[in-house]
Structure 1
């Protein structure tokens, strides 16, 4: 059985998942074409390229919002994306330092309040997926992941699923990260997904409701029933999107299963740590 294993030794986020899958051999150009079915492509540009994280060559994936998307959201990421347009090795250190300063691609997206047209309701996202004519596997994976996030947000804020209207669910980059990951997993012919326990990090983060402990409330709610790995890194390692991808898709959480390894990919996160690379490793191979 063709199996994908998420090795989350430095956490997991949506952009890390896509970067790792591209690094493992998935075709980002085909993904980009498929995503056009959402009729949102005027709102963003996609960027991917090689970076080096603490000695590990990995792939960094970014969703860069355009002027047709919301201006506030774009502005909050201008620092991070100023080096993200190239695909060459010459940018690798600029990438690392730029991302180190910016607190993280998905981190900012997840926690900057958006009340303007850049955010979408859970219901709008479901309609967009259903109308896009993705194949059944991609649609089912995407809908299940969004439902997981929507239910977590609804539970925390005391709202029914249909009324959930939050940036965590609605930001353009989260939509691209989740549906893009589903497209690449389908493209790679993955039949089962497994994952390590999820390290969430520690410390505190600023979200629109104030200062909260790590993991953020939505992330912790999403990870109910999922093994969480202890970790003393004072940073947010698992984002709501990354947590939901693992929680929904992984049928088993534990150590690397017995497998014949076919490909390995490293997806770069947005942070830089002193003692270990901020990357997600994916391992694809045949299990019995």
Structure 2
């Protein structure tokens, strides 16, 4: 069985997932073409390229919002972005926008508020996915991940799913991260997804509603039932988007399964840590 294993030794976020999958051999150009079915491509440009994180060559993926994007909300990226990373491939803008998106905060980032306006509701996101005519696997994965995040946000804010308004996850970059990850996983012919336990980091982060402990409430809610690993790094390591991708797609959580390894990919986060590479590793191969 063709298996994808997420080795989350430095956490996980949506852009790290896409970077790692591209690094493992998925085709970002085909992903970009598929994403045009959403009819929001005037709102963003995509870029990806090689960066070195503590000695490991990895792929950094970025969603760069254009001035046509009317998504607005203050989102705090918690993603480790690298500003001057020598993209070897860039569409449109070559200047990378520090972040990761999602419910008010995202992974491994330096938290910088970005104001974008407007938001999309859960219902609008579901309609956009259904109208895009993705194949069934991509649509089902994407819908399940958004539902997981929507239910977590609804639980925290005391709202039914249909009333959840996604300021951050409605942001273009989060939509791209989630649906893009589904497209690449489908493209790679993955039949089973497994993952390590998820380190969430520690300390506090600033999000729209104030100063919150790490893991942030949405991330922790999403990871209910998923093994969390302790980690003394004082920053946010798992974002809501990254947490939801593993929580929804992961069938088992633990050490690397016995497999014949076919490809390995490293996806870079935004921050750089002194003692270990801030990357997500994916391992793809055949398991029994």
TM-score normalized with structure 2 length = 0.89
| Preserved contact between residue 51 and residue 96 of structure 1 (Cα < 8 Å) | no
Is contact 2:51-2:86 (8 Å) kept?
no
The alignment covers a number of residue pairs equal to 288
CA-to-aligned-CA distance 1:205-231 (integer Å, 9 cap, x gap): 001111000000000000000000000
Higher helix share: 1
Change (3 A) 1:146 1:102: closer
Name the Cα RMSD after superposition.
4.2
1:182-240 Cα distance to aligned partner (Å, 9 max, x none): 00000000000000000000000001111000000000000000000000000000000
Higher strand share: 2
Q: 1:145 to 1:197 in 2, by over 3 A?
A: same
Do 1:100 and 1:272's aligned partners in 2 also have CA atoms closer than 8 Å? Answer: no
Q: CA deviation at 1:167?
A: 2.3
Matches of 2:180 and 2:262 in 1, distance apart?
22
Where do 5+ consecutive residues of structure 1 fail to align?
none
Contact between 1:201 and 1:237, CA under 8 Å: does it hold in 2? yes
Q: CA deviation at 1:269?
A: 0.3
CA apart distance, 1:171: 1.0
Structure 1 residue ranges (4+ consecutive) displaced by more than 3 angstroms after TM superposition: 70-86, 88-118
Shift of 1:102: 16
CA contact (8 A) 1:201 1:235 kept: yes
Q: Which moved more, 1:276-285 or 1:69-78?
A: 69-78
Structure-2 change in CA distance of 1:185 and 1:71 (3 Å): closer
Q: CA deviation at 1:70?
A: 3.3
- Normalised TM-score (structure 1): 0.89
Moved more, 163-172 or 184-193: 163-172
Whether contact under 8 Å (1:204, 1:214) holds in the other structure is: yes
Consecutive unaligned residues of structure 2, counting only runs of 5 or more, are none
CA distance in structure 2 between the aligned counterparts of 1:175 and 1:101, rounded to whole angstroms: 9
The answer to whether the 8 A contact 1:47-1:85 is kept is no
- Is contact 1:99–1:105 with CA below 8 Å preserved after alignment? no
Contact 2:226–2:247 (CA under 8 A) maintained in structure 1: yes
Q: Which residue of 2 aligns with 1:46?
A: 46
> In the alignment, which residue of structure 1 is the partner of 2:273?
273
